A and B are shown apart, each in its own frame.
Chain A
Amino acid sequence: MKVDLKDPAWRQTLPPSRSAASDAPVAACAFNRDGSTVAFALGDGRVRLLPADIKAAEAPAAEPAHKGVVLSLVGDPAGDGFVSGGDDGRLLRIGLDGAATEIANQKGRWIEHMVAHRASGALAASAGKMALVVKGDTVREFGPHQSTVADLDFAKDGGRIACAHYGGVTVWSLGEATVAPRSFKWSGSHVALKWSTDGKFLATGTQENDIHVWRLAQATDMRMQGYPAKVKSLSWSADARWLYTSSQPLFTAWSFAGKGPEGKPPLQFGDEGAGLMTVVAAHPAAEFVVGGYDSGELQLGDIKSKRSVVLKMSDNSAITCLAWSADGFKIAAGNEKGDLLVIDLRR
Chain B
Amino acid sequence: MAQAQVPVTVLTGYLGAGKTTLLNRILSEQHGKKYAVIVNEFGELGVDNDLVVNADEEVFEMNNGCICCTVRGDLIRIIEGLMKRKDKFDGILVETTGLADPGPVAQTFFTDDDVKARTRLDAIVTVVDARHFLGQLEQGSEAEEQVAFADVILLNKTDLASEDELKKVEDKITSINRYARIHRTQKSKIELDAILDKGAFDLKRILEFEPDFLHHGHDHDHGEEVASLSFSSDRPVDPDKFQKWMGALLQLRGQDILRSKGILAIDGAPKRYVYQGVHMMMDADWGTPWKAGEKRSSKLVFIGRNLDGENLKRGFEECLK
Report A's interface with B, CB cutoff 8 A.
Answer: 23-25, 27, 42-44, 67-69, 71, 87-88, 108-110, 112, 128-129, 147-148, 150, 166, 187-189, 206-208, 229-230, 316-318, 336-338
Contact = CB atoms under 8 A, between A and B. Distances in A.
A24 B81 contact: no
Interface residues of B, number: 25
Contacts of A128: 56
B58 A148 contact: yes
A110 B81 contact: yes
Given A230-B113, A336-B1, A25 B84 contact: yes
Interface in B38-95: 50, 53-54, 56, 58, 60-64, 73-74, 76-77, 81, 83-87
Contact of B54 (A23, A108, A188, A206): A108
B63 A206 contact: yes
B56 A23 contact: no
B165 interface: no
Interface of B: 1-2, 50, 53-54, 56, 58, 60-64, 73-74, 76-77, 81, 83-87, 112-114
Contacts of B77: 112, 148, 150
A112 B83 CA distance: 13
Given A166-B73, A316-B1, A147 B60 contact: yes
B1 A87 contact: no
A-B pairs with lowest CB-CB distance, top 6: A24-B86, A188-B63, A44-B86, A43-B86, A189-B73, A147-B58
Nearest to A112: B81
A69 B85 contact: yes
A68 B63 CA distance: 33
A181 B64 CA distance: 28
A71 B86 contact: no
A230 B64 contact: no
Name, among B58, B81, B84, the residue most crowded by chain A CB atoms within 10 Å (CB to CB). Answer: B84
A202 B112 CA distance: 24
A189 B60 contact: yes
Given A67-B50, A150-B73, A230-B114, 11 more contacts: A43-B84, A68-B50, A71-B84, A87-B53, A108-B54, A112-B77, A129-B56, A207-B63, A207-B73, A317-B1, A337-B1
A298 to B, nearest CB: 16
B60 A68 contact: no
Contacts of A206: 63
A316 B2 contact: yes
Contacts of B64: 208
Nearest to A228: B113
Contacts of B114: 230
Name, among B2, B50, B60, B64, the residue most crowded by chain A CB atoms within 10 Å (CB to CB). Answer: B60
B84 A147 contact: no
22 contacts: A25-B84, A25-B86, A27-B84, A43-B84, A44-B87, A67-B50, A69-B84, A71-B81, A112-B81, A147-B58, A148-B73, A166-B58, A166-B60, A187-B61, A188-B60, A189-B60, A189-B76, A207-B60, A207-B112, A229-B113, A316-B2, A336-B1
A185 to B, nearest CB: 12
Contacts of B87: 44
A23 B58 contact: no
Contacts of A88: 50
Nearest to B113: A229
B1 A68 contact: no
Nearest to B41: A108
Contacts of A67: 50
A229 B58 CA distance: 21
Given A25-B83, A207-B73, A318 B62 contact: no
A198 to B, nearest CB: 28
A79 B63 CA distance: 43
A42 B60 contact: no
Given A147-B58, A189-B73, A25 B2 contact: no
Contacts of B74: 147-148
Contacts of B83: 25
Contacts of B56: 128-129, 148
B110 to A, nearest CB: 13
Contacts of A316: 1-2
Contacts of B76: 189, 207
A207 B70 CA distance: 12
A232 to B, nearest CB: 9
A335 to B, nearest CB: 8
A88 B64 CA distance: 35
Nearest to B112: A207
B239 to A, nearest CB: 24
A68 B78 CA distance: 13
